[in-house]
């Protein structure tokens, strides 16, 4: 144990004293931008406030780094869950305490013109992909280079976003961990059913006096393609439909005392090409619970990329999906409350009837002190869903206790105890009677 503590301390000291040297360099100011450090916490859609004067092309580089130590245990009660032979099809992947490979993100933000900015985000290192991947890139217009009072008045309210970007469905995706960027999240993971995807399309926003609305259209897939697909017996519709989604709400501050935000989101796609929809499977980085509640291949261990989403539940709505998410956020001094109700239905191309899923989650976070550098949090998250071919709904529950410390606005350390259980899965399913629990510690740098 002393050796592990010394190793973790060495890692943390490297993050504290070496990496922030890059942050000390003068960074240009980018307008309508969400910071990658502590000041980006509880920021959702970017503001219309003109925060940076344009005096020429500016390029800003940023990054997020995350290093973890995990001590989780798991078990199940499924049939054939022991042994090493060919019959041990439901044996769980053997796990032991240890450090996870660090994850890293790279950000490039450019101010191209007055009110026009560009973002490109790359995953340098992640669980899902060992090689570097571009998450996406988009251009955002908060002003347009057209003369006239009409355009001036319109762009005081409007924001236009075009490219390959993180779909703005719900509010939880603003608070989740995204690869190496873990500063925004007071916990280790996002939700059990992780509604997160990057898709190609556009979004238009209108904002005024704390009220806002958004409409978006995308291709519905994490990766664009023009391939034709084959009809199946269950579904002969080979049309490629766009995804349409809406969001609206209110975000108001009550002086310096409180802030309240209420939003509703809707996402719809009636026919993906083949099985391309990725609303609940669009993350290219992976879970921050490594290899828990995953099957072990008899005689060999699966590659990390094969079990990238440990601890999550994907309902498998890959052909059709209709999803609603309602979020509430309340901040009173140092106390933050964040709640989610989500309901979704959909199916695969091999099914004829839609299945349903319901997700509930609630966070309570208390940030201590004037600078709010210390925080403590509780989370409860539950998902109930119908599986393809199953006769009864299954349930996954998660309870987490977390705490953290911002050593600087760019450097954070946090820890979480998590307990997750799986109920009503068939005895032939490796998740039958499944549970995992334990401690995860994380050091994070963001700038």
Burial class (CB in 10 A: 0-12, 13-18, 19+), 193: buried
Highest mean pLDDT among 52-66, 118-132, 305-319, 398-412: 398-412
Residue 360: is its pLDDT beyond 50?
yes
Mean pLDDT of the region 394-416: 97
Mean pLDDT of the region 302-315: 78
Residue 150 three-state SS: helix
- Distance (Å, rounded) from C-alpha 356 to C-alpha 364? 27
Question: Both ends of the chain: CA-CA distance in Å?
Answer: 32
Amino acid 16: pLDDT: 46
Residue 323: is its pLDDT beyond 50?
yes
Minimum mean pLDDT range among 41-55, 180-194, 404-418 = 41-55
Burial class (CB in 10 A: 0-12, 13-18, 19+), 52: middle
**How does residue 239 score in pLDDT terms, banded at 50, 70 and 90?**
confident
Residue 25: is its pLDDT beyond 60?
no
The pTM (predicted TM-score) of the whole model is 0.89
Q: pLDDT tens digit string along 43-85?
A: 999 998 877 888 889 999 999 999 999 999 999 999 988 877 7
**How does residue 296 score in pLDDT terms, banded at 50, 70 and 90?**
confident
Stronger pLDDT, 10 or 243, i.e. the higher one: 243
Amino acid 101: pLDDT: 87
Domain edges within the chain: 2-446
**How does residue 8 score in pLDDT terms, banded at 50, 70 and 90?**
very low
In 3D space, the residue among 138, 178, 183, 148 whose CA is nearest the CA of residue 38 turns out to be: 183
Query: What CATH number does domain 2-446 carry, 2.40.110.10, 2.130.10.10, 3.90.420.10, 2.40.160.10?
Result: 2.40.160.10
Beta strands in 173-319 (DSSP E): 198-208, 211-218, 243-254, 258-269
Amino acid 198: pLDDT: 94
One-character DSSP codes across 354-376: -EEEEEEEEEEEEEETTTT-EEE
Mean pLDDT of the region 333-358: 95
Stronger pLDDT, 251 or 13, i.e. the higher one: 251
Minimum mean pLDDT range among 18-22, 129-133, 402-406 = 18-22
Amino acid 297: pLDDT: 61
In 3D space, the residue among 387, 390, 364 whose CA is nearest the CA of residue 377 turns out to be: 364
What does residue 211 show for φ and ψ, rounded to 5 degrees? -95, 145
Q: Average pLDDT of the chain?
A: 89
- Distance (Å, rounded) from C-alpha 296 to C-alpha 308? 13
Q: pLDDT tens digit string along 257-279?
A: 899 999 999 999 988 766 678 89
Amino acid 325: pLDDT: 98
Residue 164: is its pLDDT beyond 60?
yes
Amino acid 189: pLDDT: 96
Mean pLDDT of the region 27-41: 93
Amino acid 314: pLDDT: 94
């Amino acid at each position: 144990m002393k050796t592990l503590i010394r190793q973790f301390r060495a890692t943390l000291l490297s993050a504290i004293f070496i990496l922030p040297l890059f942050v000390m360099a003068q960074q240009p100011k980018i307008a309508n931008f969400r910071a990658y450090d502590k000041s980006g916490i509880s920021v959702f859609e970017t503001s219309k406030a003109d925060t940076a004067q344009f005096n020429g092309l500016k390029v800003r580089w940023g990054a997020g780094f995350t290093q973890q130590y995990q001590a989780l245990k798991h078990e199940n009660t499924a049939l054939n869950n022991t042994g090493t032979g060919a019959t041990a099809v439901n044996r769980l992947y053997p796990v032991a305490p240890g450090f996870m490979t660090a994850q890293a993100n790279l950000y490039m933000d450019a101010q191209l013109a007055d009110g026009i900015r560009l973002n490109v985000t790359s995953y340098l290192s992640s669980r899902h992909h060992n090689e570097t991947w571009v998450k996406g890139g988009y251009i955002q217009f908060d002003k347009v280079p057209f003369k006239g009072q009409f355009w001036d008045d319109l762009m005081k309210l409007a924001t236009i976003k075009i490219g390959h970007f993180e779909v703005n469905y719900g509010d939880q995706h603003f608070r989740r961990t995204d690869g190496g960027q873990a500063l925004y999240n007071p916990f280790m993971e996002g939700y059990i059913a992780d509604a997160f995807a990057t898709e190609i399309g556009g979004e238009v926003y209108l904002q005024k006096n704390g009220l806002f609305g958004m409409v978006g259209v995308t291709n519905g897939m994490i990766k664009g393609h023009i391939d034709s697909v084959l009809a199946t017996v269950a579904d002969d519709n080979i049309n490629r439909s766009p995804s349409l989604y809406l969001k609206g709400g209110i975000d108001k501050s009550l002086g310096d005392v409180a802030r309240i935000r209420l939003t509703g989101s809707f996402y719809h796609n009636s026919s993906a090409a083949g099985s391309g929809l990725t609303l609940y499977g669009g993350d290219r980085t992976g879970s921050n619970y490594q290899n828990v509640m995953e099957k072990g291949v008899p005689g060999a261990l699966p590659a990390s990329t094969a079990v990238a989403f440990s601890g999550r539940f994907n309902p498998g709505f890959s052909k059709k999906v209709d999803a609603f998410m309602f979020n509430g956020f309340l901040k009173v001094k140092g106390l933050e409350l964040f709640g989610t109700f989500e309901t979704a239905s959909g199916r695969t191309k091999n099914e004829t009837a839609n299945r349903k899923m319901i997700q509930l989650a609630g966070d309570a976070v208390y940030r201590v002190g004037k600078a709010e550098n210390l925080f403590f949090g509780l989370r409860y998250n539950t998902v109930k869903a119908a599986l393809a071919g199953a006769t009864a709904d299954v349930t996954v529950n998660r309870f987490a206790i977390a705490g953290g410390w911002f050593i600087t606005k760019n450097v954070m350390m946090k820890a979480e105890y998590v307990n997750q259980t799986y109920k009503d899965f068939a005895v032939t399913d490796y998740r039958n009677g499944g549970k995992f629990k334990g401690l995860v510690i994380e050091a994070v740098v963001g700038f």
